[in-house]
Each structure stands twice: as structure tokens, then as C-alpha cells.
Amino acid sequence: MTPIGASNLIDLLRGRAADTPDRTVFTFLRDGVTPAETVTFAELDRRARETAAWLQARFPPGARVLLLYPPGIEFVVAFLGCVYAGLIAVPAYPPRGRDIDPRIRAMAADAQAAAALTTSDLLPRLSAMTRDDGGFAGVRWGTSEETVGSGDAWRHPRPAADTPAHLQYTSGSTATPKGVIVTHGNLLRNLQDMDLGWRHEADSVIVSWLPHFHDMGLVYGVLEPIFAGVTCYLMPPVSFMQKPLRWLQAISTFKATHSAAPNFAYDLCVRKIKPDDRLALDLSRWSVAVNGAEPIRAETLNRFAAAFGAAGFRDTAFCPGYGLAEATLKVTATPRGRGAVCLTVDGAALGRGRVAAVRPGEPGARTLVSCGMSAIDTDVVIVDPDARRRCGAEEVGEVWVAGSVVAAGYWNRPADTADTFGARLIDEDRGPFLRTGDLGFLSGGELYIAGRLKDLIIIRGQNHYPQDIEQTVESLGSMLRSHGCAAFSVDVDGEERLIVAQEVEREARGADLPDLQGRIRQAVAEAHEVYVYDVVILRAGALPRTSSGKIRRQACRLAYTEGTLPGRSAN
């Protein structure tokens, strides 16, 4: 299953340590620029065995271990130490405020964590926060410093393909996230899928600023370098968010060939990196620029390619993809070297669930970006979610997925697992399939995502995808914050009504808000033929977001209906 014949993550890293012991696998850039720590394959294997020996002496096989680490190599060691010990890692993040995050509390309780690992610097604060917290009852705390020692007592747990490696908790919109059970087999097959499609080579270099506790940051940023046997430079996510230039500087300085980010990151680079700074970059070796984890906009790809072409970036490097934690990470993606493929369709027909190709620039046209295909056995079908029958060739439906990358289910949630992972096609008696909750269609064997089923806005029988409305609003001017809009519907007197909540930049606080709200209403009406019932203007950063920065539309809807959305309403 792997380039060195390993059937689990332990043998994968041990094989790399035997074949290329002195090759550097990770370098951590403390501020996104300065190398602060490096580790070779042999050192990583040794440190993982030391951590595993410490854990095996204290906890039974299969125990869940919460990992509360800041970005860095210590997290990588702790994660692999859990895997080497035969325990189940639960990647999380340290609390950012004075109190424990409700999501972390919910994760600890749901996973029934036996232990929590962190750094010695963070332990006093975390212990004080959780001392009287019921969610952490019975949790034993440990630090990376405690686990340093001899790995001679380590015992290989010999995990099978279906042995859980970690629980990936979904972002969700509530404080009760679900833990996706990701197995050794899931991970190896997904890593192989990405390696086949994006063709990592002996001299490939990866740069990743993605959060280690999210599926893309963990699977591609941490595990793929081990699978492919290449070097990866890790950056703190905050270093990118504070100064997007640092991401591209790292790619330029360390001659990276592969890097991945959500769509908003590419857009942020175009808006925040000055022309003079662009010219100082050398992006000529960047051959795989993965775009995933949120709706991909053709306009963003075009703007990025135009802005950084002079720095050596080629639009053929774009590799748009689609995935979710329930499928380990990748479902489909564009292969290396081809570049993005776009399809322009009639937006009104798409709203009615039909795919009708039109010429770019025609009234109501909408351009979608292909998310490619799988390089292994992943089976993608488009299904009518109500009838549970396969859709026709020109129909939009829910994306269902089957194959070796589909996770084992949700931790300790049999009903949710059966509903999400146990779907079957009635007319063909095929299954089980993973129901993704995303709407899309297949064209030319490639997957196109049209929207999110649960976020779909239906007004007077017409389907409206929130990201389309949000893009229309955000294009109205620089005072509106990019990626700061949420479109959702609420029930008013028995009828669905459209609400738009938009953040404004700080310099726009003195603007004529009623005029701005009127312009938003007019733009949405003209572009989508739907009336905006209410426009809520908010300060920058006020919209509810996940820990990775995605807007939580369901939480926005709840806050609006409860009257707690902190903005100025038009009604």
C-alpha cells in the first residue's frame, strides 16, 4: 500500500527511518520565517517510541489522548507517540482565552479521554482551567518533557488496517462536535491517493501553515511528508494570517514544490501582498498549489495567477480538490500539471437542480471549478437525497462517497453513523455510502460542487446557494470585508426569508449604513432575483467562525433568530 510496503503508520515511519535516517522530514518556522527546530526521520521515530513507551506504561490500548499543543514539532511527536502506543490520538488546540473552550470540553467528554498531553509551559494554565471541569473528570495530564527517555520498553502494537489511529472532530456549528474514527487503512489509502495525483518526488518540498488539528493540516501537512519521504516546512497558522506574504516567502526561500490552502488564502495573498513584494518572490518551483476545504472560486484562481505570474507562478500548478473529514481528507482532486478546469452553467437552471452549459459572460452564468477525480478506488455518485436514487447526467444532487478512504463512523454515535455512513441506493441496492451533505454533479467524470445541502436557501421554490449571494455582496466595494459575509434563511410568518449579514472594515464605521444596506439589497435582487428581507451590518470579526476561519452559517442563523447577532439591522 505504500512505497516501502508498510501496512500501518508505525511501519511507514520506521521504514523511512531505516531507509533515509538522516533526511530532515520537518523544519518548524517559528515566526513563519526563521527555522526554529528540525527533525530527521530517525529522530522522529526515536522520539515517537519514547513517547509511546511512556504512554504504554500508563494507559491501556485504545485509550483516547487529547493533544493540546501549539503549532510545532512537539505536536507531531505526540501524535505519532499515540499511534506507536496503540492509543487513539485526539488532535485539538490550546484554549485562546482565560476559560476552557466549550468545544474542547465537549471533545474531551465525547471521546472519554483518559489522558491529555501538552507542553510544560501550557500545563499550569490548562490544569487550572480544567480542575473543576466535569468534561475533564478522570483525565490524566502529561507533558512532552515527561515522555523523554528510553524507548527500549516500547512494544509494537501491530495495528490492523481497521484499527483507529485518531479521532478527527468536525468543525460543526455547535459545541457538540462529532469525532470521526479514522483508521490506519483510511490514512494510508488517502495518503496514497494524494501521492499518486500530486506526484511527490525525491526532491519535493512541502510548505504548510494549516492548523495541525484539522484534517488537511494533519493528513497533508504532517502525514503526507512521511508517506512520500520528503521534507516539509511547518508554519504557525497565525504567521500566515498576520502576514500572508510569509507563506509565499517560505515557498520561495525553501524552493517548495507543494503547498495547500483554502480558497480564502489565495484571495488574501492577492489583496494583502504589495506588487513590490511579489517581484521579490520566486515561485517557479511551485508545481502543486492545492485549493480545497471551502468553495473554490474561479475568480480567485484567475486573480492569483495574474498577480503572481511575474514571480514565476504557473496557473497549471492549481490543483483544486474536494474532501471532508468523514472521508479522511481527499475525495477528489485535480492531478498535478493540468491546472484548473472550469465549467460555465446557467445559474437559474442550477438553482432548479439542472446543469445547462452556457457561454461565459451570458446573463445569469455561473462558473464552477472542477474538483477532479480520485486516483484510487473512491466511488462518487450523485443522488436525489429524498428518493435515494441516482441522479441523471444533467442533474444536481447530494454527493455520496464509497471506498477505502471513508472513515469508520462517528465515535460512540451509532445513530449518526448509520445515518451518515450507511446510505444505500434504493433502486440499485448499493451501499453503504457516506452522505456528504454537499450538492454537486459529475461532468466528464469529474466532480463539481454546487453548494451545501444544509445551507441551501429555498425561497418560493427556487434554490439559492449562499456562497453565490455572498460573493455578489462582497464585490460591492472595499469597505465590505472579503470572506466576511453570511447568507442564510429564516422562517418569518411561515415563509422563508433571506438574511444577509456582512462585516465592514474598520474604516467604514462612519459610512452611510442605510445606503449600504440598500445597495446590498439591490445587487442581490438584480443578480439572483430574490428579495433580501434583512441586511445586518457588523464590525470586522463579528461573524461566528470555526477555529479554521470558516463562517458558521448555522450559528449565524441561530444568533439572528435569538437576537444576539451583534450588528445593525435594516429592519
Phi, psi of 412 (to 5 degrees): 60, 30
pTM of structure: 0.85
Under a CB-based contact definition with an 8 Å cutoff, are residues 104 and 68 in contact? yes
Burial 285-310 (b: 16+ CB within 10 A, else e): bbbbbbbbbbbbbbebbebbbebbee
CA angle (172 as vertex; 167, 174 as ends), nearest 5 = 110
| Residue 189 CA from chain centroid, whole number | 18
Under a CB-based contact definition with an 8 Å cutoff, are residues 502 and 538 in contact? yes
| 35: enclosing H helix or E strand | strand 35-40
Q: In what order do the strands lie in the sheet with 140-143?
A: 140-143, 115-118, 64-67, 88-91, 164-169, 179-183
Pairing mode of beta strands 24-29, 231-234: parallel
Grid coordinates standing for 120? 510544560
| 450: enclosing H helix or E strand | strand 446-452
Cell 467528554 locates to 109
Residue 43's alpha-carbon distances to 119, 481, 540, in angstroms, are 19, 45, 44
First to last CA, the chain: 59
- 43: number of Cβ within 10 Å: 18
CA distance 167 to 161: 15
Grid coordinates standing for 133? 471541569
Under a CB-based contact definition with an 8 Å cutoff, are residues 139 and 294 in contact? no
CA distance 452 to 463: 11
| 383: enclosing H helix or E strand | strand 379-384
DSSP helix/strand/coil, 557: helix
Give pLDDT, residue 174: 38
Give pLDDT, residue 102: 77
pLDDT per residue rounded down to tens, the chain (571 residues):
466 788 999 999 999 999 999 999 999 999 999 999 999 999 999 999 999 999 999 999 999 999 999 999 999 999 999 999 999 999 998 887 777 777 888 899 899 999 999 999 999 988 888 887 767 888 999 999 998 988 899 999 999 999 999 999 985 433 467 999 999 999 999 999 999 999 999 999 999 999 999 999 999 999 999 999 999 999 999 999 899 999 999 999 999 999 999 888 998 899 899 999 999 999 999 999 999 877 788 999 999 999 999 999 999 999 999 999 999 999 999 999 999 999 999 988 888 889 999 998 888 888 999 999 998 989 999 999 989 999 998 899 999 999 999 999 999 999 999 999 999 999 888 889 999 999 999 999 999 998 877 788 888 767 788 888 998 898 888 788 888 999 999 888 767 899 999 998 877 666 677 888 999 999 998 888 889 999 999 988 899 887 767 788 888 988 898 888 888 877 7
Give pLDDT, residue 435: 96
Q: What is the DSSP letter of 551?
A: B
Q: In one letter, which amino acid is 222?
A: V
131: exposed, middle or buried (Cβ count in 10 Å: 0-12, 13-18, 19+): exposed
CA distance 120 to 126: 10
| Residue 111 CA from chain centroid, whole number | 21
- Alpha helix locations (H) across 319-422? 347-351, 414-421
CA distance 379 to 405: 10
- 436: number of Cβ within 10 Å: 23
Give pLDDT, residue 157: 97
Q: Give the DSSP letter string of 234-249.
A: E--HHHHHH-THHHHH
Under a CB-based contact definition with an 8 Å cutoff, are residues 247 and 266 in contact? no
Q: Give the DSSP letter string of 89-115.
A: EEE----SSSS--HHHHHHHHHHT-SE
Q: Give the DSSP letter string of 106-153.
A: HHHHHHT-SEEEE-TTTHHHHHHHHTT-GGGTTPEEEEHHHH-S--TT
Q: In one letter, which amino acid is 178?
A: K
Give pLDDT, residue 461: 67
